[in-house]
Amino acid sequence: MAEAKEVKVEEIKKSAEEKSCPVQRSLYYISEFLSGPMCGRCFPCAMGSYEARVRLQSLIEGRGTEADINALKRITAEMAEASMCKKGKDTASFIAGWLSEEAFDGHLSGTCSSGECSALIEYRVVSGKCTACGRCTEVCTHAAVIGEKAKPYRSGVPFEIRQKRCTRCGECIKVCPEGAIILVGVKESTLAGV
């Protein structure tokens, strides 16, 4: 049987914790955990980690359901109990800890409170705050912002973001001097913490 690649779980955890979203954190962690050959000595870890990755991906893409969360709970409980090595047990404990965060459940209703899951957020212009300065359109490399720039003799037209073209790169929000661009949850239209 193939020897598992030396995976340093504490190091992966440290990098994962740079993400604010617990679902993104969990997916990053499990993807790194699975980046080498799986030793496969214990079924709950060997199979569970692959299933966990699929379930987390669904949540991040806005397709997640209660069944995904329940499956993740089951997987982490089984891994905690039946993993033969510390890596498996630590993995179960890290994911279970992130699963318990309220923001994890928010993904079921299409809300990523940290704004890190791009499938669940949109950038929008608050037209009443937009002065049509045009800075957002200058930084957007995807031609996703449209509007008419103000000139000394014309007030211009408030800008708008074409969602189909927007890649959620976030460059426009950084340059808007009026705070007129906001991050909104796709399904619930709630501000996503910016």
Query: Which residues would be at the binding site for ligand SF4 (CB under 6 A)?
Result: 4, 39-42, 45-46, 83-85, 87-88, 123, 125, 130-136, 139-140, 142, 144-145, 147, 159, 161, 166-172, 175-176, 178, 180-181
| Closest to 97 in 3D by CA, of 152, 190, 17 | 17
| C-alpha to C-alpha distance for 33 and 68, rounded to whole angstroms | 20
Closest CB to ligand SF4 among 56 and 166? 166
| C-alpha to C-alpha distance for 47 and 58, rounded to whole angstroms | 17
The nearest distance, CB 41 to ligand SF4, in angstroms, is: 4
Closest CB to ligand SF4 among 99 and 144? 144
| C-alpha to C-alpha distance for 166 and 61, rounded to whole angstroms | 16
Closest CB to ligand SF4 among 64 and 115? 115
| Closest to 110 in 3D by CA, of 9, 35, 192 | 192
The nearest distance, CB 176 to ligand SF4, in angstroms, is: 3
The nearest distance, CB 117 to ligand SF4, in angstroms, is: 14
- Using alpha carbons only, what angle is made at residue 11 by residues 102 and 171, rounded to the nearest 5 degrees? 60
Report the residue number whose CB is nearest to ligand SF4. 88
The nearest distance, CB 156 to ligand SF4, in angstroms, is: 8
For 150-172, the DSSP string reads -BTTB--EEEEE-TTT-----HH
